[in-house]
Structure 1
Amino acid sequence: MLELKTPQEIAAMDVTGTFIAELLDDLAGRARPGVNLLDLELRARTLLAERGAQSCYWDYAPSFGRGPFRNVICLSVNDAVLHGLPHDYVLADGDLLSMDIAVSIDGWVADSARSIIVGTPRAEDRRLIAATEEALAAGIAAALPGNRLGDISAAIGAVAADYGYPVNTEFGGHGLGRTMHEDPHVSNVGRAGRGLKLRQGLTLALEPWFAAGTDKIVYDPDGWTIRSADGSRTAHSEHTIAITDGPALVLTRRERVTAAPR
Structure 2
Amino acid sequence: MDVVLTIAGSDSGGGAGIQADLKTFQELKTFGTSVITALTAQNTCGVQGIYPTTPEFVAQQMTSVFQDFNVKALKTGMLFSTEIIETVARILQQQTAHIIVDPVMIAKGGAALLQDDAVHALNTKLLPLATVLTPNIPEAEVISGVKIRNEQDIFNAAKRILQLGVKCVVMKGGHFEEADTATDTVFFENGSSFSMETKRINTKHTHGTGCTFSSAITAFLGRGFTLHESIVEAKKFVQLAIEHPLNIGHGHGPTNHFAYQELRGIYEVMVHETK
Q: Which has the higher contact order (CA 8 A, sep 6+)?
A: 1
TM-score (norm 1): 0.26
TM-score (norm 2): 0.25
